[in-house]
Structure 1
Amino acid sequence: MPNVLRIGAVAEMVGISVSSVRNRLNPKSKYYDPTFPKPFRLGLTGKGAVGWDKKEVDIWIEGQKALRAA
């Protein structure tokens, strides 16, 4: 499995829709989550495709599991 995930793969891993991923990243959304993993640019120009580090997404998921036990 690749170490860089695109938005669809992130949504699938977390179990939410692509639009929900975008909402969690948008500070103006009522669903904004400052702890949600941030994407990084994949292109050289700083525009276009973005990806997420799989390890960061895995860590975030583990953190969410830990919250339920607290």
Structure 2
Amino acid sequence: MPEVMRMTALSRSAIYGKADPKSHLYDPDFPRLIKLTAKSSGWVESEINEWLLKRIEQRNQQHNQRKAA
């Protein structure tokens, strides 16, 4: 969790919110957590990186659209 928080700049509650379909923060594109034990979960680093790259692509597309307008 600390590494996911560092990589995404999201709080613990925001990360769990993005993963929870019942949350108003839910993001269907956010990587799904992996249950490691009954009390611990993790994420695949490459999936977090892919999600971040998608956010960057979306930002750049929006910027380019505004620039073209």
TM-score, scaled relative to structure 2: 0.80
> In the aligned structure 2, how far is the partner of 1:60 from the partner of 1:35?
7
1:34 and 2:25 correspond: no
Residue in 2 aligned with 1:56? 47
Q: CA RMSD in A?
A: 1.0
Higher relative contact order (CA 8 A, sep 6+): 1
Structure 1 runs (4+) deviating above 3 angstroms are: none
Identity rate, percent? 30
Higher helix share: 2
Work out which of the two has the higher radius of gyration on C-alpha atoms and give 1 or 2: 2
Q: How many residue pairs align between the two structures?
A: 61
